[in-house]
Chains A and B, each alone.
Chain A
């Protein structure tokens, strides 16, 4: 049994707006083991990013109203801001969706990549730069010593994302949170960045949380997958099982909506009907029921909780908890 690094329990994060409280993260629980890769998938606005930001306590202006984030025996929601800064720089690193804006345009890349070393290791700028150059090389940037002198605008999107990964890794954190790291990149570069993340996971043993809406990315990268909908975890389990036998209609619909190589010719893609719910006023019962092709009467009445279904998976669904198989209807 691998050691559990990070354990999130019943996390609630809300954003106060003039129309009411947006429950962006609504009772999310999950854990991350040392060295593993966990995928978090879901549509835009389902709370994936806010979950990750809440772990880092960067969810401002949102507020963590309850729940725990246990990391190495400490609850990250309780520790002081100063302690949290040390966690951020050294133990949990995060990379963001848009590499075009995640580097400061006025500084040389090497200077920025070495910043965690200067901040947390008290290293002088010469040694920080040396560390940055080493790390830039490790993430596959050619002639890193030369490149470190470049400004971000001289880097391509893919190289900037590599630089961001390098910056996160200079202090060898145990957890790397990648928030849609490939969404803003074109497809060939996406594959390269995923490759870098995979080799980081292998070589440094960094546990990775990969947030994406791209199911293909999850399938290729993650041992375990967690599916989120409207601020809640609706399904989780080993990636292979979740993909082969989804236990939540939302997962099932997501999988059905992507193109497949083995599909019949001219078979149309099947979108999920409807829109994600308004997070201020969630529908009563299961948040997915208005869009769910399998809904039963109970779904609009009671909110389902995450329960074990089968050997390895968990799902929050009355239909599958009652033993019904999710199958295409003729």
Chain B
């Protein structure tokens, strides 16, 4: 057997492309690379920007209504009901003379707020359960995953009806209700990912240097499942907006007079034949937002999902 000296060994390794990473090239992390890929996706960037703009408008709603529309979301004006789009009501008024644009902007606060909060809640709960189930395996896994099966088998619509009777739907309770169903899917996703990641030797190697379970889960497993989470989050937003709108529309969600995109549609169906704008504007807003969220979600998946590389 040949035993080259240390010096020779070093030279040989340096002179053996392409397996040697080039030391001159700046370190490209997974995150940098994914970010570059996302930036290159023009459609995704447009869709993402649209979401950001909508969110910004929703956050800054009082400013917009003060300087752009000059109306209050709840102010009735019974002398000017069913005004068609024009001046001074850019998108018309509803049956109580409330300004549609103002209510859309305020409704965005509720709808987008509920969507983001729901995503945050179901991701945190689902991720925790998925990590614990996947990492510990055996009876812990069985117990948690059977519970997830129960959650996912539950007819969601009845749960929503029941919950909205028990708790007065506010944006926060509504988010909690939707998340109480949505986390199950996330838990499954994360668990599956953990099962594959924990087979890799670095988990054993990290245990072999004396790391605790908590450290392994939080510092080593979690970053490895983050890509899946980012994808799940971005694809989830659109879906949740739709669910929320549907619940509002059915009267199970946010209650009038608080405006949400969904409950603006509830009222407008009765007036569709003479005041079509009351249907079009909330409908188009929901449609465009969900479309943008899904396009952005797809772009994020293309950029971040390690399996698509």
Contact = CB atoms under 8 A, between A and B. Distances in A.
Most A CB contacts (10 A, CB to CB) among B19, B201, B206, B207 go to: B201
Interface in A177-201: 188-189, 191-192, 194-195, 198-199
Given A94-B208, A104-B224, A157-B19, A140 B29 contact: no
Contact of B21 (A153, A167, A216): A153
B209 A167 contact: yes
A104 B207 contact: no
Contacts of B226: 106
B202 A156 contact: no
Range of interface residues on chain A? 35 or more
A275 to B, nearest CB: 26
A162 B2 CA distance: 18
Contacts of B224: 104-106
A195 B210 contact: no
B27 A154 contact: yes
Given A116-B210, A191-B4, A164 B27 contact: no
B87 interface: no
A172 to B, nearest CB: 13
Interface stretch (A82-90, A227-235, A239-247, A313-321): A82-90
A167 B209 CA distance: 8
A142 B25 CA distance: 15
A123 B196 CA distance: 32
Interface string B1-36: 111111001101110100111110101111000000
A102 B205 contact: yes
Interface stretch (A24-32, A143-151, A280-288, A322-330): A143-151
A103 interface: yes
A68 B227 CA distance: 43
A115 B202 contact: no
Contacts of A167: 205, 209
A89 B212 CA distance: 11
A115 B27 contact: no
Contacts of A189: 13
Nearest to B221: A104
Contacts of B220: 104
Contact of B209 (A119, A147, A149, A159): A119
B211 interface: yes
A95 B201 CA distance: 10
A195 B16 contact: no
B23 A143 contact: yes
Interface in B115-154: 137-138
For chain A, what secondary structure do more than half of its interface residues adopt (helix, strand, loop), or is it mixed? helix
A58 B204 contact: yes
B200 interface: yes
Interface string A89-100: 110011111100
Nearest to A143: B23
B88 interface: no
Nearest to B215: A119
A147 B205 contact: no
Contacts of B200: 101-102
Interface of B: 1-6, 9-10, 12-14, 16, 19-23, 25, 27-30, 137-138, 200-202, 204-212, 215, 220, 223-224, 226
13 contacts: A58-B207, A103-B202, A103-B205, A104-B202, A108-B27, A116-B210, A119-B210, A142-B14, A149-B27, A167-B209, A189-B13, A192-B4, A195-B3
Given A85-B211, A88-B209, A146-B23, 11 more contacts: A85-B210, A89-B211, A98-B201, A101-B200, A103-B202, A106-B29, A140-B9, A142-B14, A164-B205, A167-B205, A195-B5
